[in-house]
Each structure stands twice: as structure tokens, then as C-alpha cells.
Amino acid sequence: MRKIIYGEVAYHRQGGTPLKRWEAECVRLATAYGGAPPKAEKAFFMYYVYIIKSETTERYYTGITSDLAQRLRHHNSGANRSTKNKGPRVVAHREEFNDKKTAWLREGQIKKYKGGEAFKKLIQHGRVA
């Protein structure tokens, strides 16, 4: 399937479906330089599973994010419904992961610990023996 550019819009030769503007730009550049555009490298993100503690209610919240500082500001601003009006929150525990799926699985595992001995050990010692 070949893409053809007409003015500002690029179309597939079969079907005539319009492409997004950045896709059209990639096709234009590839055509101008005589080849296919280089493959874009996958963006590297670090994912964090975090546990934050309310300083007023002594309750915990477990979550996952790629920007821990921004997420903590979001919780403390009152924008998050589940942590709204529960006082300032501090990070009680965090773990770093290279991919979102592993972090998501770990978050689920920690949420299953909730209130049990394993959760208390994780908060106190940073790991579950």
C-alpha cells in the first residue's frame, strides 16, 4: 500500500483514507530523501508503583505513575477524588519498573496485601520477606 500526498493531506492509494498530519509529514520527508523514514525509538519511561500515606487520616493509597512528583502534587491538590479532603500525603513506599505491565501487576499484588501482615512489612521494611 503506497501513500500519496495531495497538498496538505496524504491518502492511502487503496481506500483513500486520510492520514494524520504527522504521518503525512513522515511520508513527505521519506519521499524527499529517497527512502523510508527511520524507525522511531520507543520512548523510555520509568514506571513507579507507589504507596502514599495521609498525614491526617493515617490511611494509605496505592497507585502507578510515570511521574511520581507530579502525581503526588495531583493527590495533594485535591484533584483526585479518592484522596480529596484527606490531608497532605507523603510517599510511604515506591518501587521502580522498566515497563508498565510489570508495574501494573505489582500494583495489583500490593493492593491484595491491603491491611495484612505483608502490607505492614512492605511499609516498615520496604520489602516482604
Mean pLDDT by 10 residues, the chain (129 residues): 47 52 63 55 76 90 92 86 82 92 94 86 77
Q: What is the pLDDT of residue 88?
A: 87
Neighbours of 75 (CB within 10 A): 21
Q: What is the pLDDT of residue 24?
A: 63
Give the CA-trace dihedral at 82, 86, 92, 98, to 10 degrees: 30
Domains of the chain, start order: 3-32 (no CATH), 47-125 (3.40.1440)
Q: What is the pLDDT of residue 103?
A: 94
Q: What is the pLDDT of residue 109?
A: 93
